Chains A and B, each alone.
Chain A
Amino acid sequence: MTPQDTLDQRHSTGVIESDDSGAVRHSASKIRIRESLAVTLALVGGIAVLIGTNNIPLRGTGELGPRFWPALLGWGIVGLSVLLVTTNVLPARTSQDTPSPMTRYGATQLILTFGVLLAYLSLFNVITLWLITFVTVALLVLLYGFRGWKVLILFPGIIAAVLHILFVVLLRVPLG
């Protein structure tokens, strides 16, 4: 297959062919579910924009006032979402740039990472930057399954030192 064919065939119907390892294969029903989700989110977003637009105060600015452009965009999103039903959902068509499948392990890591990052953020300006960075990086290192003093002490130490020197000392960011 030439690269031009690759470009041409990024848009496929029904089943996505498996790659060399045979890992990726999506049935028409799976594609429909995924595309329906995309349509739903876009539609909800478009309607939310339209509702929000009605709450913008009008002070005699007429048709071309502050509501004009957001309303145009809201209707645009709604119209395009409906169009997406006919182009992607009904024929079960999707781009071949489909991302790799999620893993349970990856999802757990993601949620825990987010928890650690939110805790890190909540301690900005409370505890000195190098210390919270050291603890955060060490926690993430543990979370991703690395063990041993080098990765648990040396790696977080280097990251904390670099951040402290760059942001606190050189850029004078008020982060303790």
Chain B
Amino acid sequence: MTHFLEMLGPSLVTANAVLDGFSIILQLDTLLYIGLGMLVGMLVGAFPGVTATMAVALAAGFTMTMEPMQGLAVLLTIYVAAQFGDRVPAILINTPGTPASISTTFDGYPLARQGKAGLAMTVSAFGSAVGMLVGIVLLAVIAIPLARFAREFGPPELFALVVFGLTMMIGVSSGRIIKGLIAGCFGLFLATVGRDPVSGDARFTMDILELNSGVPFIPVIIGLFGVAEVLNQMLTHNKNITQTKPISQLGQWWPDKKTSKSLIKPTAVGAATGSVIGLVPAVGGDISGIIGWDNARRVSKEKEKFGKGSLEGLMAGDTSTTTTLGGSVTTTMALGIPGDSVMAVLIGSMMIWGIQPGPALFSSNPSMVYSLVAILTVATLLSLAVSLLRMKSMVKLLELNQAYLWIIILVFCMVGTYSINNSVFDVVVMLLMGIIGLVMLRLDFPAGPTVLGLILGPLAEANLRRTLIGGGWESFLSSPIAMILFIISAAALLFPPLREMSRRRKAEVGEKGKFSANVP
């Protein structure tokens, strides 16, 4: 059938890929898995302290036995739904459910205090849905051309791409670039444990049989993102401090015609901001939301309302945050470079299923793009519908004591990790990484670059060695793509500290000026 269609022309092949891809959502079991992922994601998002990364890492433990597309349906839906659920605590208790809803608190909570929590949650849900859908369109349009372009990459370009992905994730961790680099090197080192890919010699295995095949991904990810976070919450728990009571008066739910019209411009600004930021690997929705909010403020006629309960600000921030999803999935699948930490976890899962994200994936299997588009669209529409229905019950959930969540997460982490390979060793690795993750958290080392390093390590090492054996360091200089990627990477690392230095210098000059003006 496919051969016949190929003879008819590329447009029919594309149509075939679209039909093949979309057929996934006609299967009842896929829809059930999307429903399951939606429920988990909503709950995860609604509980502050449980991040989408943590939830996807935990779920990865028990999606290993599923078919790859079904597993992807669960994990991607958790990611989508968490970005709806996390708006609830951001609006009702001024605490982001996940980092992606930081910008929601700027105007969401002030609106709730004005008795407009219902309206804020409705606007936020629509903003999030519009953002997701714009991102999904972006994925459908650019994923395959990007993958085809990247397929031409040789070892120098692939090594430069890994460096680019890692530095982008580190570059956005403002104020801790060196710690981010150390964390990234640590992840790259973890990836060297096991057999050398070229000579087959054992490296850092300490005569432990299980380490011959390398440090297992999923236990590391669950330890760093799940266990470490719970342990940190436990460590800082103060029994004398009571939990913040959520605002329970939700007020009006639906915006009137005039208000709806006024939200078109901030939605467009948010979507445009998120579309651009989403394509930068490793820059997540949290940063995009803040930038989208700020951009909407600049172009608004009611700038003064921003931060004090502006529906425009809320809409722009939430749209911008969720639009990044399309870009994140695109760079993850088409380049093999995770768009954010959730995507890093997703790559880990896919590799265990035997799927290697990267240029070859979409160009050889274009129907997969459309399967992802279908899953994400259904997940978005379902999450939007539930967001508009479930709000009052969510208020009750926010009153639940956090310690119950610790117990559920820890027990699920342990059994979930064991279930991947039926291995106690994996659980020990997870607990160990939980402790290492806790130390990293306390000392302000970001965990994202470590996971990224672990996942991209083999790709980085193999391509660097191949490049150097093939043509030496000059191979990088003769590749314009590699050079451009290196230059952007260097700029991402150097620009924030240079800007910080110039800001500090200006402040010092200002202080001196004030001092000399005061001297008679």
Q: Which residue numbers of A lie inside 8 Å of B, CB to CB?
A: 2-4, 6-8, 10-11, 13, 34, 37-38, 41-42, 45, 49, 52, 56-57, 59, 61, 64-66, 68-70, 73-74, 76-77, 80-81, 83-84, 87-88, 94-103, 105-107, 109-110, 113-114, 117-118, 120-121, 124-125, 129, 133, 136-137, 140-141, 144-146, 155, 159, 163, 166-167, 171, 173-175
Q: Could you tell me if A57 and B201 are in contact, using CB atoms closer than 8 angstroms? A: yes
From B294, B418, B424, B431, contact of A117 by CB (8 A)? B431
B106 interfacial by beta-carbon distance below 8 Å: yes
**Residues on A with beta carbons closer than 8 Å to the beta carbon of B235:** 102-103, 106-107, 110
CA distance A13 to B500 in the complex (A): 11
Q: How far is the CB of A166 from the nearest CB of chain B, in Å?
A: 7
CA distance A76 to B236 in the complex (A): 33
When C-beta atoms are compared, the residue in chain A nearest to B231 turns out to be A110
**Residues on B with beta carbons closer than 8 Å to the beta carbon of A70:** 189, 192, 203-204
**Residues on B with beta carbons closer than 8 Å to the beta carbon of A7:** 174, 287, 290
**Residues on B with beta carbons closer than 8 Å to the beta carbon of A105:** 237-239
**Residues on B with beta carbons closer than 8 Å to the beta carbon of A113:** 231, 234, 406, 410
Given A37-B443, A96-B175, A117-B410, does the pair A77, B186 have CB atoms closer than 8 Å?
yes
B389 interfacial by beta-carbon distance below 8 Å: no
CA distance A11 to B411 in the complex (A): 37
Q: How far is the CB of B470 from the nearest CB of chain A, in Å?
A: 11
B419 interfacial by beta-carbon distance below 8 Å: yes
Q: Could you tell me if B500 and A94 are in contact, using CB atoms closer than 8 angstroms? A: no
B199 interfacial by beta-carbon distance below 8 Å: yes
CA distance A7 to B289 in the complex (A): 12
- Per-residue interface assignment for chain B, residues 462 to 474, with 1 indicating a CB less than 8 Å from any chain A CB and 0 otherwise: 0011001100000
Q: How far is the CB of B378 from the nearest CB of chain A, in Å?
A: 23
**Residues on A with beta carbons closer than 8 Å to the beta carbon of B217:** none
Q: Could you tell me if B185 and A106 are in contact, using CB atoms closer than 8 angstroms? A: no
Q: Interface residues of A: mostly helix, strand, loop or mixed?
A: helix
Q: Could you tell me if A59 and B199 are in contact, using CB atoms closer than 8 angstroms? A: yes
CA distance A94 to B445 in the complex (A): 11
Q: Could you tell me if B410 and A103 are in contact, using CB atoms closer than 8 angstroms? A: no
The winner among A65, A69, A120 for most chain B CB atoms within 10 A is A69
Q: Could you tell me if A77 and B199 are in contact, using CB atoms closer than 8 angstroms? A: no
Q: What are 28 A-B pairs with beta-carbon distances under 8 A?
A: A8-B503, A11-B174, A11-B175, A64-B469, A65-B196, A66-B198, A66-B203, A69-B188, A69-B192, A69-B461, A73-B185, A80-B178, A80-B182, A94-B175, A95-B174, A95-B175, A95-B176, A97-B444, A103-B237, A110-B235, A117-B431, A121-B427, A129-B415, A133-B411, A140-B407, A173-B419, A173-B422, A175-B419
Q: How far is the CB of B412 from the nearest CB of chain A, in Å?
A: 8
B95 interfacial by beta-carbon distance below 8 Å: no
**Residues on B with beta carbons closer than 8 Å to the beta carbon of A125:** 424
When C-beta atoms are compared, the residue in chain A nearest to B465 turns out to be A64
B408 interfacial by beta-carbon distance below 8 Å: yes
CB within 8 Å of A: which B92-112 residues: 102-103, 106
Q: How far is the CB of A164 from the nearest CB of chain B, in Å?
A: 10
- List the count of A-B residue pairs having beta carbons below 8 Å apart: 191
CA distance A42 to B185 in the complex (A): 10
**Residues on A with beta carbons closer than 8 Å to the beta carbon of B412:** 163
When C-beta atoms are compared, the residue in chain A nearest to B500 turns out to be A11
B494 interfacial by beta-carbon distance below 8 Å: no
**Residues on B with beta carbons closer than 8 Å to the beta carbon of A103:** 235-238
Q: How far is the CB of B423 from the nearest CB of chain A, in Å?
A: 10
- Per-residue interface assignment for chain B, residues 401 to 428, with 1 indicating a CB less than 8 Å from any chain A CB and 0 otherwise: 1011011101110111011001010011
Given pairs A2-B307, A102-B442, 4 additional interface contacts (CB within 8 A): A3-B103, A73-B189, A84-B182, A113-B231
When C-beta atoms are compared, the residue in chain A nearest to B468 turns out to be A64
Per CB-CB distance, the 5 closest pairs between chain A and chain B, nearest first, are A11-B175, A66-B196, A95-B175, A144-B403, A100-B236
CA distance A74 to B186 in the complex (A): 9
- Per-residue interface assignment for chain B, residues 310 to 348, with 1 indicating a CB less than 8 Å from any chain A CB and 0 otherwise: 000000000000000000000000000000000000000
Given A3-B290, A59-B201, does the pair A163, B411 have CB atoms closer than 8 Å?
yes
From A8, A121, A171, contact of B414 by CB (8 A)? A121
CA distance A101 to B424 in the complex (A): 33
CA distance A118 to B427 in the complex (A): 10
- Per-residue interface assignment for chain B, residues 165 to 176, with 1 indicating a CB less than 8 Å from any chain A CB and 0 otherwise: 000000000111
**Residues on B with beta carbons closer than 8 Å to the beta carbon of A146:** 401, 403
